[in-house]
Structure 1
Amino acid sequence: MKMTMTQKILAAHAGLEYVEAGQLIEADLDLVLGNDITTPVAITEFNKIGITEVFDKNKVVIVPDHFAPAKDIQAATQCKCVREFANDKNITNYFEVGEMGIEHALIPEKGLVVPGDAVIGADSHTCTYGALGAFSTGVGSTDMAAGMATGKAWFKVPSAIKFNLINQPTKYVSGKDIILHIIGMIGVDGALYKSMEFVGDGIQHLSMDSRFTMANMAIEAGAKNGIFEVDFITREYLKGRTDREYIVYTSDADAIYDEVITIDLSKVRPTVSCPHSPDNTKTLDELPEIKIDQVVIGSCTNGRLEDLRMASDILKGKKVAKGVRAIVFPGTQQIYLDALAEGIVTNLVKAGCVMSTPTCGPCLGGHMGILAKGEKAVSTTNRNFVGRMGHIESEVYLASPAVAAASAITGYITNPEKIDA
């Protein structure tokens, strides 16, 4: 039928046998997501509709995570607004301080998304859930309001780029290096309003955490969504997280792609994105010596257990360089607990890192890690635009947890292979 994975999911949710790129459809939604920045605006628009209930209290998720725990009076007011709305509408999946997490780490952990779902969220990195074989995409607050009210959304069916991943990455190359490599290759608009489809024998060598990272950053190439084929690793991740039945969609053999790009994972090198755009990438072999002031390990991109474990393995028995601030943000409370149980937190704190509650704070220059004029940071976050993490004359270098941890030790952007040597 010549459809991609994404097109099949959208067709099913629109009640159609077939859709094609460019077609406008109205689709039923399995989940509508918002946070403390976007939900208050959505609530205002929702109230204008004149209804009193959300379409399904179990299918709306609200997670105050950007400025929570509240950093100031305005943030507290935002959180109060969404808290009162969630209570009034009896929303089942409302997660705040004490049970919260960074939304795009928390939603998969809770088993709230399964393969074949159609998900919208008033946050651009909602595309994270494509790692599970779902269609998920970011929308504006008005679309979130309409989704909460009706359980539906309009979409233009995206065309697709197929990324055929082959071979096995080397020791310190993770999903972050791979997606930065791809974004550097195609540019920040290289997949504009397209589906980035990740397939091939190479995905068997990518953990779920690496897949979440890659799908998360599809938006940084302009994509509508990123999506992975469902395999045994996906199914194993879902065990114990959900009892929902799900449908696995695979692309047709004759599916139409705008482009097919083969990536040999064995040749991808540790990669960083230099200021001030995610596609300004260089391998560490190409990068000159750059002194840093701060390291951030966490975010919805790289705050999962595997990320913290990698940082811990590199930092264990060593010390953060004098003058470097190393801040670690577990993605969720459960990840924090698991890191404690494994001794990861002990290793990181002994090395000189500070641990924070799960929050998006430093990623968007909100709180808990703001950069001053002239400062440079290595961060495992997803964006490095001008002023993204603080002063407009600060600089952010995007990197993997391994690179971030190695850089914390030396005080310069450093290849983890050198620490391991």
Structure 2
Amino acid sequence: MSTKFDEASPNRWHVLVACFMAYAFDAMDFMLLALALPAIIAEFHLSLAMAGLIGTATLVGVGFSSVLIGWYADNYGRKRALVGSLMIFGLFTAAIGFAQDWTHLLLLRFLAGLGLGGVWGVAAAFIREVFPARHRGRAAAFVLGSWPIGFGFAAFLARFVLPTYGWRALFFCGIGAIVAAIYALVFVRESAAWIADRESTPDVKRSVSVRELFSDELRLTTILGTLAATFALVGYWGANTWIPTYLVKERGLGTASMTTFVILLNVGMFVGYQLFGWLGDRIGRERALILSFIGAVIALPLYAVTRNDTLLLWMGPVTALFFSFTGIFGAYFAELYPARVRSLGAGFCFNVGRGLSAFAPFVLGAIAARSSMSTSIALCGAGFGLAAIFTAALARVRRREAPFGRPSAVQLTRE
């Protein structure tokens, strides 16, 4: 079965819409926690470190999800994996509204994370398989650019729900992910490239295993890709988990003002996704990634030391412009792996990176308790600096190697 079938059919647009919706709800879910944290801390009398562990529990679940959902997507199909991920985190996020203590929050966030981590790898593989190379970077950036839209929508909900109905009602809104699951179930067809690969593989070799990611041909790619994602996400989650609380506790903003700041921050992030997605197609994925990381290294400390509220308001979207690396990773990681292990490989690098970055909210919360949140947010720039170093190392490896008879990822991004 030719992969051109997907490229010429309406299915790729249904894939685009379904993945866009799925990733927006994925983002909304993460942001609901960040926005609800000040109220949760007050209700359960939590320390900043204990509150940070709730975010950590989510990311630990995400780390497991990258392997479980990635394995399922490569063995049983992209569509099933996407629908399953949405159902899992939609239901468990809504259940958080019934939590009675801190341990309930930890458990339910971990379970929600088992679904949250699956969306990114499946979406990256799906886009790689239904769009031609010349449009792939922009398609991936558009889909993964739904992340700031999900963040912004969560802030919009919080503006009206939190003051009147409380944080529990905010988590009930997470059930909206079921809408994206229904759309994918009804309109999306399975990837023709995945079907063709399965049909061309002998039965005895069809089962996909994580061990394949550490074969001689893929080991260094997997290790460097995971390290690049890990440190980028250390910086990202460290900043984004605590920025709402930082704005309330150290800048004295009320809930309504804080949500306005967060909405504008996510406008900047959405613009960044489109800008760096376009740059990725023009100058290569690695160069675009490194530029975004360097921008974050510079912008985050400046944001953290800004004291004027008006300047802080506009510094938010400028800083978030450089948080757009996940869009480029979506196209880049999917190009590093053959179809057989594409969802597993891309998801492994990104979501194991999320899992390894899980303790960033906890550690930075502990640092904030001893010094200040502005110090913790400024330190997140170091994570982006290390991500730039590992991305440059991965770029050197990819220029030297072109496995599976394919052009290197650098060549692919210039097609």
Q: What TM bracket, shorter-length normalisation? A: under 0.3
Question: Greater helix share, 1 or 2?
Answer: 2
Instruction: Tell me: higher relative CO, structure 1 or 2? Use CA pairs within 8 A at least 6 residues apart.
Output: 2
Question: Greater strand share, 1 or 2?
Answer: 1
TM-score relative to the length of structure 2: 0.27
